């Protein structure tokens, strides 16, 4: 079971995210076969499993490890992933809409077009890897850390972010339209690019250098003409 990491407050008063500390028990190797909708997987190790195109909608993964698994087009809508570690997973079009991820570590993933709209993420660490076109519209993120990863055109439209940190993370053309941010720390992002919704940065903390980088976007949002 994961041990809950304690939170804290940074020097600027922003509340820090509580990170998961997942301690997996002895695991049973996955026996193969197809994932089952509403299946129950407890203490299972999925290693180099090809789960592409399979239907695990509504399934529960508790104390599991998924290592180097293929998730192309895998249907995991409404799935619950709890106290688990996913390492080196890869796939395009993985569907986790309305899923719950709690006390989860996602390490060195290579994903594209992952659907997490309407999902709930709580105490989640996403470290390393690259995720293109991540759909987090209307999702709820609490105590989530993006660390040393690359996010290309992530969509946070209408999402609620609370105690979320971007640490050495490259953020390219993020969409924050209608998002709500509370205690979101962007200061340590390696690159901060916002394509839409810059007006939703209230509730976030950024560095002085990032403010200068965002000045043209802010000026455009406010209708300010900059000449000379």
* Chain segment 142-169, per-residue pLDDT in tens: 999 999 999 999 999 999 999 999 999 9
Cβ pair 91, 73 in contact under 8 A: yes
Beta strand residue intervals within 95-169, DSSP E: 100-112, 120-132, 140-147, 150-152, 160-167
pLDDT tens for each residue of 97-125: 999 999 999 999 999 999 999 999 999 99
Looking at residue 9, what is its pLDDT?
67
What's the mean pLDDT in 88-94?
A: 98
3-class DSSP state of 7: coil
4 has pLDDT over 70: no
Q: What gap in Å lies between CA 38 and CA 106, rounded to an integer?
A: 22
227 has pLDDT over 90: no
Going by their DSSP bridges, the two strands 3-4 and 20-21 should be labelled as antiparallel
Looking at residue 7, what is its pLDDT?
59
Which residue from 137, 146, 135, 214 is spatially nearest to 179, judged by alpha carbons?
137
228 has pLDDT over 90: no
Q: What gap in Å lies between CA 139 and CA 156, rounded to an integer?
A: 8
What's the mean pLDDT in 43-70?
A: 98
215 has pLDDT over 90: no
């Amino acid at each position: 079971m994961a041990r809950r990491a304690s939170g804290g407050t940074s020097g600027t008063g922003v509340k820090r995210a509580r990170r998961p500390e997942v301690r997996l028990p002895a695991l049973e190797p996955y026996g193969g076969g197809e994932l089952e909708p509403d299946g129950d997987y407890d203490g299972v190790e999925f290693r180099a499993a090809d789960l592409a195109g399979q239907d695990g909608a509504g399934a529960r993964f508790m104390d599991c490890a998924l290592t180097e698994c293929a998730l192309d087009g895998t249907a995991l809508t409404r799935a619950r992933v709890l106290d688990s570690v996913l390492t080196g997973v890869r796939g395009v079009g993985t569907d986790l809409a309305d899923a719950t991820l709690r006390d989860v570590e996602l390490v060195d993933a290579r994903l594209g077009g992952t659907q997490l709209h309407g999902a709930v993420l709580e105490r989640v660490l996403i470290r390393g890897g690259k995720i293109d076109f991540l759909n987090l519209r209307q999702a709820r993120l609490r105590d989530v850390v993006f660390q040393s990863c690359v996010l290309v055109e992530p969509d946070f439209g209408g999402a609620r972010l609370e105690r979320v940190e971007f640490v050495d993370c490259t953020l390219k053309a993020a969409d924050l339209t209608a998002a709500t941010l509370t205690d979101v720390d962007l200061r340590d992002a390696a690159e901060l690019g916002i394509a839409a919704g810059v007006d939703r940065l209230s509730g976030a903390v950024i560095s002085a250098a990032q403010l200068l980088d965002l000045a043209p976007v802010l000026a455009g949002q406010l209708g300010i003409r900059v000449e000379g």
